[in-house]
Structures are given as structure tokens and as C-alpha cells.
Amino acid sequence: MNRSEQRGSSERSQARRSELIATGRKLFADTSYDALSMDDIAQHAGVAKGLIYYYFKNKRGYYLAIVEDSVAELVSLASGGAELPRTQRVQRTVEAYLRFAQYNEAAYRTIITGGVGFDTQVQAIRDAVRTGLVSTVAQGAYGRSDIPPIARLALLGWLSSVEWLTLEWLEYQHDLPREIPRDLLVRMLRHTLNTIEEFSPECPAPPPDLDWRPFTGLDEDPSQP
């Protein structure tokens, strides 16, 4: 097999692997790890079970690949909008986070709670998400991701609130529109940034957006601008 044929074979193999991950993301979007067997997965994917073993070795390897792919999308979406004003950029980041959790609930719970038992690989994925999101917030607030330890500690504290508030909101999402936890978390971040400035004057909080009003759900329609 020449190089061109090898490259074509590798590309087809990668495409097949990506297709299996995309199918798995749909299957596990709102279904727990234990709820589907490998036979179920193969039937839904329309492939022989052996093909999944070939690419991922076992069910756990397949699920972790799905979670990693989901996380890559989350971090990419959350880090977008660099051209927006700071408050809108923060809103976009939190909105992307909440939307991901809402439409990938089972995977999100796995990432935050380590849902495949005590799993060091899931922990590593979660740590990578946290690092990426803290860097995104720091870049938006300060124009740089290299921040003092106390600032990073405070942002990690805020991010922990994001994680567990989101888990709680998922239980009540039919009663609370996504805009409410989004703007609640944006306001909490504003207070966190002000506190960081008190402890680290070299990290001044961005000036507030005087035109910003949080969505309360009492007298507003989130579909209206």
C-alpha cells in the first residue's frame, strides 16, 4: 500500500470513528452509562459490535471518547465571541455552558460527578474543562490568562458554583428558563471579580455594563431583544 492509499485508509478510519462518536453522543445525551448495553449501542449505530471494540476497546473507552468529544465542543463554544463586549462575552460563555449541560445532561453529570465510578480519566477531563473555562473567563476579564494564584483560586471557586448550580438547575429547568441561571451566574462573577480586585489590585475588575439588566422571568420575554 503506497502513501496515498495509507492516507485514504486512515481518513476513512477516522471518519468512521467520528461517526460512531456522533451516534454515541445522541444515544447518551440523556441516557446514563449503565442504561445501554454494547448490543444496544451497536444496534442503534447499525454496525457490528466488534467494530466498536476495534475503535474503542470496550464500552468505557467508547463512553470516554464521547465525553472527551463533548467537552472539546463545550470549551470551543464557551471560548467564542472574542469580538463581543465583556459582559456579552461572559453571557455567551455561561450560556454555552448551560446549553451544553441541558442538551448533554448525562455526559455533563458524568464530567462533574465522575459518573463512571471513581475514574481518574474522567477527573482529568473535568480538570481540563475547568482549566479551559478559567482561562476563557480570565482572558475576557483581564485580557490575559496568566493571572495570580489568588485570582485563579477565586475563579475556580466561582466555577465550582457554576457546576453545582447547573446540576441543581437541571432538576428544575422546566420551571426556570435558562436565562435566569445564566444571569445569576454572570452577576456572581461580577462580585467575584470585584473581590479579586480587593485581594489583587493588579487584576482590576472590568467596568460594569451600565445597560445590562439581569433576566428575572417576571416581566420579560427571553425571545425578545
Question: What CATH number is attached to the domain comprising 172?
Answer: 1.10.357.10
Q: Is the residue at 20 inside a domain?
A: no
Task: For residue 5, tell me if it sits in a domain.
Answer: no
The torsion of the CA quartet 77, 184, 90, 210, rounded to 10 degrees, works out to: 150
Confidence (pLDDT) at 90: 81
Residue ranges in the chain modelled with pLDDT below 70: 1-9, 82, 114-119, 210-225
CB atoms within 10 A of CB 45: 18
Position 1 scores a pLDDT of: 53
- Which three-class secondary structure state does DSSP give residue 120? helix
HSE at residue 106, side-chain half, CA atoms within 13 A, is: 17
- By residue range, what is the domain housing residue 185? 66-199
Residue 11 lies in a domain: no
pLDDT score at 189: 94
The total of structural domains in the chain comes to: 1
- Residues in Cβ contact with 143 at an 8 Å cutoff, skipping those fewer than 6 apart: none
Give me the pLDDT at residue 9, please.
63
Evaluate whether residue 168 is within a structural domain. Answer: yes
Q: Compute the Cα dihedral for 217, 99, 167, 145 and give only its sign.
A: negative
Please tell me whether residue 196 adopts helix, strand or coil conformation: helix
Q: How confident is the model at residue 83, as a pLDDT? A: 73
Within its chain, how far is the Cα of 93 from the centroid? Answer: 10
Tell me, yes or no, whether 59 lies in a domain: no
The reported pLDDT for the residue numbered 161 is 95
Q: Find out whether 105 and 29 touch, Cβ atoms under 8 Å.
A: yes
The radius of gyration of the chain from alpha carbons, rounded to an integer in Å, stands at 20
Does any domain span residue 25?
no
Closest by alpha carbon to 159, among 178, 182, 139, 185? 185
Please tell me the predicted confidence (pLDDT) of residue 34: 81
With respect to residue 136, please indicate whether it lies within any of the assigned structural domains.
Answer: yes
The model carries a pTM of 0.78
145 assigned to some structural domain: yes
Contact present, 204 and 197 (Cβ < 8 Å): yes
